[in-house]
């Protein structure tokens, strides 16, 4: 090799790719650590970096550059030598805000650790999870939905006379129960019940109490147990059986004639078209949902039907497909942006 001979392709493009990726990692850690240390809770009013360093007990130089970085990102504002939350941070990163998303951010650390040790992860040292959502995950999902998706979903459902005339509703695998709580507010005459695993309903009760809602819980496993009923409406959102024909049959059997089945799910389409799709599918396989038989494509489980197959199955059973709405949003719990479909169907035969 001639040491004076230049390579045919410059390294700069590669370095740009690597540096952009690495800067993303640095930025995530600054935001997450700022949440954990209470930076945003201390920036409700203007403050200097010296004052913040004293409050957080960190070196002033660290305080200065953290605040400067957050200002560059747009999460805080700087005027003269004083720093303060931006409107975005005050709404979503203040722990006392009704729309605080701190847990959503901190929850990403688990997957970040798996990415940071990707060689071990790919060799089988993966995160072991079941379909049982532990208290922290329930909190993350509750924080996520209250930031807009819940309101969009309830607004759509409330536009149907069938919902407003319903007297009973089952929230299937309802987790935090926020949808039942909101739907009970939209229709005060409806009796809502959240059906989920027993340890999950313990968490559901906390949200019911927090929002002062008249909502009941039903402990159970929808794979094994009968849903009982009949109900005037059954609602489902992102549960592992949401595209499974056996669960759909249980829903049909538990609905009154003329009852609504409202199902919000992610149906994979045109996968692997973007880098984000590929990364999300890879990350989905880091976790192992053994009991619910997770499939290899994000948000999917073995036995799931495709979107068109699912619609056809519902119609064959006796449902009329009234509408399909799109409720797209950023979902920190299960990936980046999910393309969801809210299926409104009615039992007609």
Do 183 and 327 belong together in one domain?
A: yes
Do 143 and 80 belong together in one domain?
A: no
Q: Looking at the DSSP assignment, which residues form a beta bridge with residue 255?
A: 231
pLDDT the model gives residue 170? 97
Do 325 and 228 belong together in one domain?
A: yes
Q: Where are the beta strands (DSSP E) in the chain?
A: 76-79, 82-85, 127-129, 168-172, 191-196, 215-219, 231-237, 255-266, 287-289, 319-326, 329-330, 337-338, 340-347
Residue labelled with tokens 């200002």: 71
* 11 secondary structure, DSSP code: S
**231: left (phi > 0), else alpha (psi -120 to 50), else beta?**
beta
* CATH code of the domain covering residue 16: 1.10.10.10
pLDDT the model gives residue 132? 44
Do 85 and 154 belong together in one domain?
A: no
Question: 43: which 2 tokens?
Answer: 């920036």
Do 296 and 221 belong together in one domain?
A: yes
pLDDT the model gives residue 331? 55
Question: 213: which 2 tokens?
Answer: 């809602």
pLDDT the model gives residue 301? 84
Do 251 and 343 belong together in one domain?
A: yes
Least Cα distance to 128 among 105, 107, 108, 110 occurs for: 110
pLDDT the model gives residue 277? 80
Is residue 100, in this structure, part of any structural domain at all? no
Residues 6+ apart with CB under 8 A from 55: 42
pLDDT the model gives residue 62? 97
pLDDT the model gives residue 338? 54
Is residue 45, in this structure, part of any structural domain at all? yes
Is residue 115, in this structure, part of any structural domain at all? no
Domain boundary among 70, 94, 118: 94
Do 76 and 158 belong together in one domain?
A: no
Do 168 and 271 belong together in one domain?
A: yes
Question: 7: which 2 tokens?
Answer: 């390579």
Residues 6+ apart with CB under 8 A from 1: none
pLDDT, averaged in runs of 10, over the chain (349 residues): 88 94 96 97 97 97 98 96 97 96 91 91 68 70 91 96 97 95 97 94 95 95 90 94 93 96 86 77 76 74 90 97 85 55 96
Q: In what order do the strands lie in the sheet with 231-237?
A: 215-219, 191-196, 168-172, 231-237, 255-266, 340-347, 319-326
Do 139 and 17 belong together in one domain?
A: no
Is residue 154, in this structure, part of any structural domain at all? yes
Domain that residue 206 falls in: 129-347
Is residue 99, in this structure, part of any structural domain at all? no
Is residue 106, in this structure, part of any structural domain at all? no
Do 79 and 141 belong together in one domain?
A: no
Q: Looking at the DSSP assignment, which residues form a beta bridge with residue 233?
A: 169, 260
**Cβ neighbours of 36 (radius 10 Å):** 12
3-state secondary structure of 192: strand
3-state secondary structure of 299: coil
* CATH code of the domain covering residue 225: 3.40.50.150
> For residues 153, 154, 157 and 158, what is the CA-based torsion angle, rounded to 10 degrees?
-150
Do 134 and 82 belong together in one domain?
A: no
Within 13 A of 63's CA, how many CA atoms are on the CB side? 23
Q: Where are the alpha helices (DSSP H) in 160-259?
A: 161-164, 178-186, 198-210, 245-253
Classify residue 19 by burial, with Cβ atoms within 10 Å: 0-12, 13-18, 19+: exposed
Please tell me the distance from the alpha carbon of residue 333 to that of residue 167, in angstroms, as a whole number: 32
Q: Looking at the DSSP assignment, which residues form a beta bridge with residue 199?
A: none
Structurally, the chain folds into a number of domains equal to 2
Do 53 and 136 belong together in one domain?
A: no
Is residue 2, in this structure, part of any structural domain at all? no
Domain boundary among 69, 94, 119: 94
Least Cα distance to 343 among 266, 270, 229, 271 occurs for: 266
Radius of gyration of the chain (CA): 24
Is residue 108, in this structure, part of any structural domain at all? no
């Amino acid at each position: 090799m001639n040491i004076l001979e230049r390579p045919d392709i410059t390294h700069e493009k590669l370095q740009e790719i690597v540096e952009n990726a690495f800067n993303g990692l640095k930025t995530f850690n600054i935001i997450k650590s700022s949440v954990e240390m209470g930076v945003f809770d201390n920036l409700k009013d203007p403050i200097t970096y010296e004052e913040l360093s004293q409050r957080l007990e960190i070196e002033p130089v660290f305080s200065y550059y953290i605040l400067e970085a957050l200002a560059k990102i747009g999460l805080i504002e700087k005027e003269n030598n004083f720093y303060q939350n931006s409107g975005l941070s005050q709404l979503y990163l203040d722990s006392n805000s009704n729309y605080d998303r701190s847990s959503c951010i901190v929850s990403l650390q688990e997957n970040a650790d798996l990415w940071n040790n990707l060689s071990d992860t790919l060799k089988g040292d993966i995160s072991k999870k079941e379909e049982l959502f532990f208290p922290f995950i329930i909190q993350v999902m509750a924080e996520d939905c209250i930031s807009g998706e819940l309101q969009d979903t309830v607004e759509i459902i409330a536009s149907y006379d069938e919902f407003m005339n319903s007297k009973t509703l089952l929230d299937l695998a309802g987790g935090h129960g926020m949808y039942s709580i909101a739907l009970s507010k939209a229709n005060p005459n409806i009796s809502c019940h959240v059906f989920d695993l027993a340890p999950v309903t313990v968490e559901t009760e906390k949200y019911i109490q927090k929002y002062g809602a008249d909502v009941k819980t039903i402990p159970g496993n929808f794979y094994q147990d009968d849903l009982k009923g009949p109900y005037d409406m059954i609602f489902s959102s992102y549960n592992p059986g949401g595209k499974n024909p056996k669960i759909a049959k249980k829903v049909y059997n538990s609905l009154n004639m003329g009852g609504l089945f409202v199902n919000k799910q992610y149906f994979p389409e045109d996968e692997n078209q973007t880098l984000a799709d590929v990364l999300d599918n890879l990350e989905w396989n880091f976790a192992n949902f053994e009991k619910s038989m997770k499939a290899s494509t994000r948000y999917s489980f073995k036995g799931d039907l495709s979107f068109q197959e699912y619609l056809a199955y519902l119609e064959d059973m006796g449902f009329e497909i009234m509408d399909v709405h799109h409720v797209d949003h950023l979902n920190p719990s299960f990936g980046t942006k999910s393309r969801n479909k809210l299926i409104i169907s009615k039992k007609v035969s």
